[in-house]
Amino acid sequence: MNKKKLRILIAYNDPADAGANDLDYISEVAVKNEADIVYDTLVKMGHNPALMAVSGIEANIAEINDFSPELIFNLCEGFHGQSKHEMHIAALWEILGIPYSGNKPITLGISQDKVLAKNIFMANGIPTPEFEVFDKVPEKTRLGFPLIVKPSNEDASLGISQNSLVTGMDSLRTSASALLEKYREPVLVEKFIEGREFNVSVIGGKPAKALEISEIDFTALDGDTPKITGYESKWLEDHPLYRKTPSVCPAKISPGLKKKLVTTALEVYEVLMGKDYGRVDFRVDARENIFVLEFNPNPDISPGAGFSKSLAASGLNFEHFLKKIIKDNTGF
pLDDT tens sequence across 10-62:
999 987 665 545 555 555 667 889 999 999 999 999 999 999 999 999 999 99
Read off the pLDDT of each residue in 102-110 and give the average, rounded to a whole number.
98
Residues 87 and 176 in one domain: no
Residues 199 and 326 in one domain: yes
Residues 135 and 180 in one domain: yes
Strands 7-13 and 247-248: unpaired
For residue 56, what are the domain limits?
A: 7-100
1 inside domain:
no
**What is the C-alpha separation between 176 and 184, in angstroms, rounded?**
11
66 CB-near residues (< 8 Å, 6+ apart) = none
For residue 143, the domain's CATH number is: 3.30.1490
What confidence tier does 1 reach under pLDDT thresholds 50, 70, 90? very low
Tally of domains in the chain:
3
pLDDT digits (tens, 9 = 90+) for 122-155: 999 999 999 999 999 999 999 999 999 999 988 7
User: Where is the domain boundary, 148, 172, 191?
Assistant: 191
105 inside domain:
no
